């Protein structure tokens, strides 16, 4: 009887342990964070602006994410596929904090100088890299140098998002000029181009965010900006409210 009782107690302990283990697994599954969905925005009424950052991810991108989080702002990151593998945690963080991941080609080649097959390869490889790192597949493309045409647009197969304000941060690498361009030049419904690979740009971000907030802007992702407007695959867009897609010839 004593042996049977001991065996019974052991079985109960094992069952409790198994139950606890199952509960821990369930809790871990529930705790897996999910990307924040786009907010419902009426950018025809709200003073919306989309900040976009190209050519990353890089060594400074996490700082940009930190500053955006502190400001309660969202942005869109047009990333190079060849850079994604070096910063997977940063890319994963983007959609979890409400930012949009987007495609800027694999190698930053001029798409008009590539064959249609090569364009498709650049896009596809980048889609796969970003999806693998973030769990989210991009829905828009930005051609390097803004260089595109009808053939490229057809090969890309996604809306092509350009910009209404080019900060020229890649050229002057100057914090004060970045702030001036980022705060003074944008208009409602605009898309602003920066590069998160340049330290002076990243240094300017907190002041840019504060200045835009003071001007009354709500900082949104590209998808949030255009959610009330149809975007055609291959179409080229620079700001909200365009009468239709502009396709370079």
Q: Which are the catalytic amino acids?
A: 54, 195
Q: How far apart are CA 77 and CA 64, in angstroms?
A: 10
Q: What is the 3-state secondary structure (H, E, C) of 68-81?
A: HHHHCCCCEEEECH
Q: Is 115 within 8 Å of 126 (Cβ atoms)? A: no
Q: How far apart are CA 53 and CA 56, in angstroms?
A: 7
Structure tokens at 118: 């090569």
Q: Is 81 within 8 Å of 106 (Cβ atoms)? A: yes
Q: Is 134 within 8 Å of 92 (Cβ atoms)? A: yes
Within 10 A of 29 (CB to CB), how many other CB atoms are there? 8
The DSSP annotation for 26-86 comes to HHHHHHS--PPPPP---TTTS-EEEEEEES---TTHHHHHHHHHHHT---EEEE-HHHHTT
The DSSP annotation for 100-134 comes to EEEE--SS---GGGS-HHHHHHHHHHHHHHHHHHH
């Amino acid at each position: 009887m004593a042996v049977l009782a001991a065996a019974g107690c052991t079985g109960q302990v094992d069952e409790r342990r198994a139950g606890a283990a199952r509960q821990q697994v369930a809790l871990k599954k529930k705790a897996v964070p999910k990307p924040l969905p786009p907010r419902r925005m009426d950018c025809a009424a709200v003073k919306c602006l989309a900040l976009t950052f190209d050519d990353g991810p890089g060594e400074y991108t996490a700082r940009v994410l930190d500053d955006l989080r502190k400001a309660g702002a969202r942005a869109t990151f047009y990333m190079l596929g060849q850079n994604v593998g070096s910063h997977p945690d940063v890319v994963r963080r983007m959609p979890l904090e409400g930012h949009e991941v987007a495609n800027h080609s694999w190698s930053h080649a001029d798409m008009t100088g590539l064959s249609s097959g090569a364009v498709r390869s650049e896009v596809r490889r980048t889609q796969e890299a970003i999806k693998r790192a973030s769990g989210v597949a991009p829905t828009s493309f930005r051609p390097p140098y803004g260089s595109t045409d009808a053939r490229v647009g057809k090969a890309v197969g996604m809306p092509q998002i350009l910009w209404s304000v080019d900060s020229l941060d890649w050229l002057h690498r100057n914090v004060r000029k970045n702030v001036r361009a980022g705060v003074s030049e944008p208009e409602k419904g605009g898309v602003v181009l920066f590069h998160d690979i340049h330290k002076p740009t990243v240094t300017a971000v907190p002041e840019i965010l504060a200045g835009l907030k003071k001007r009354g802007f709500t900082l949104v992702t590209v998808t949030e900006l255009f959610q009330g407007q149809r975007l055609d695959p291959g179409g080229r867009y620079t700001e909200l409210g365009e009468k239709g897609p502009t396709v370079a010839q």
